Amino acid sequence: MKPLNLVTLLIFLAASAWALTRSETSVRKIQKGYYSIISPFVSSGSPIEDKISAFNQEIEHSQILSKKLEIAEAELVIMNTKIKQLQTLEKENIQLRAALDFKKRTPFSVTAAKIIRRKPSNWWETAHIDRGENHGISPMLAVIAAEGLVGKVDRPNNETSTVILLTDEACQVSAQVVGTHEFGILSGQRAQNGNNPMLRLRYLSRDSNVKIGQTVITTGKGELFHKGINLGTIVDVSRGALYTEAQVKPAVNFADLETVFVLIK
């Protein structure tokens, strides 16, 4: 090997060793610097993504309309279903208004935020919101939607923040099955993707009597999340030698997430 190549390789190894030995505080500073540089591009990219998304939705909508024409006889049934859906939406609207009124009814304040980008990386379930340190956001704050828990703030920048979603394995929540004394740790599953992510509720007692259809909520223990936030519904239970584990369908529809609320302590 030529001396120059050897020197270059040694410099590279030294730089790699430097990067690998950074403390968490240093890493956070690096990430903050990086995101302060790319933040304007992330925000400006969002309207384009919205337009593409709207275009795709428009295509899907057209396909639905053509199908409706073909099956005219079933239209009445569909309309009745839609009326029911509208009634559900009306209820959700009331719930959303109640969520917006959180500030008056609770000791903590709530900041509404828009999801501006879902990260396309392979193994991490994270999203960017359009609220950052300038809006009072700090790490570890709970992020909710009208239906339930969305995740927690991982890294606030000046104007935006990164939220680690409940569907990520690294987002763990102390959870309780409603109507029982069963407590466990709820988290996402490794490398899951698609529109129907499932959560794992682990460390339930071995003789647990949890059943499919029961609701799971936060316990308020562990210093991260407030008590009583809806997490999801049990869809499967498997009993192991040491403890029982349940599969939980999240209360929040992560495929169609636009507006969230950050609970500020």
**In the complex, what is the shortest distance from the CB of residue 253 to another protein, in angstroms, rounded to a whole number?**
20
Place of tokens 């990219």: 45
Which one of the spans 51-59, 103-111, 191-199, 239-247 is the region binding another protein (CB under 8 A)?
Answer: 191-199
| Minimum CB distance to another protein smaller for 103 or for 220 | 220
Q: CA 185 from chain center: how many Å?
A: 16
Which one of the spans 46-54, 72-80, 190-198, 242-250 is the region binding another protein (CB under 8 A)?
Answer: 190-198
Provide φ and ψ at 49, rounded to 5°. -60, -40
Among 3, 59, 66, 122, binds another protein (CB under 8 A): 122
Which spans in the chain are helix H? 3-20, 24-70, 75-100, 102-105
**Residue-by-residue DSSP string for 37-84:** HHHHHHHHHHHHHHHHHHHHHHHHHHHHHHHHHHTGGGHHHHHHHHHH
Rule CB under 8 A: is residue 30 a binding residue for another protein? yes
**In the complex, what is the shortest distance from the CB of residue 244 to another protein, in angstroms, rounded to a whole number?**
16
**Residue-by-residue DSSP string for 150-169:** EEEEEEE-SS-EEEEETTST
Please tell me the count of residues contacting another protein according to CB under 8 A.
Answer: 45
Rule CB under 8 A: is residue 34 a binding residue for another protein? yes
Rule CB under 8 A: is residue 256 a binding residue for another protein? no
Rule CB under 8 A: is residue 79 a binding residue for another protein? no
**In the complex, what is the shortest distance from the CB of residue 192 to another protein, in angstroms, rounded to a whole number?**
8
Rule CB under 8 A: is residue 221 a binding residue for another protein? yes
Rule CB under 8 A: is residue 227 a binding residue for another protein? no
**In the complex, what is the shortest distance from the CB of residue 3 to another protein, in angstroms, rounded to a whole number?**
13
**Spatial distance between the Cα atoms of 244 and 238, rounded to a whole number of angstroms:** 6
Rule CB under 8 A: is residue 108 a binding residue for another protein? no
- List Cβ neighbours of 90 (8 Å cut-off, separation of 6 or more): none
Rule CB under 8 A: is residue 265 a binding residue for another protein? no
Among 170, 198, 237, 264, binds another protein (CB under 8 A): 170
- Rg (alpha carbons) of the chain, rounded to whole number: 23
Residues paired with residue 259 on neighbouring β-strands, in sequence order:
114
Which secondary structure element, helix H or strand E, spans residue 179, and what is its range? none
Rule CB under 8 A: is residue 187 a binding residue for another protein? yes
Which spans in 101-239 are helix H? 102-105
**Spatial distance between the Cα atoms of 27 and 103, rounded to a whole number of angstroms:** 34
Rule CB under 8 A: is residue 218 a binding residue for another protein? no
Among 84, 91, 97, 119, binds another protein (CB under 8 A): 119
Three-state DSSP class for residue 252: coil
Give the tokens for residue 85: 């859906």
Among 15, 83, 100, 212, binds another protein (CB under 8 A): 15
Q: Which residues bind another protein (CB under 8 A)?
A: 2, 5, 8-9, 11-12, 15-16, 19-22, 24, 27-28, 30-31, 34-35, 119, 121-124, 126, 139-140, 154-155, 164, 169-170, 172, 174, 185, 187, 190-194, 221-224
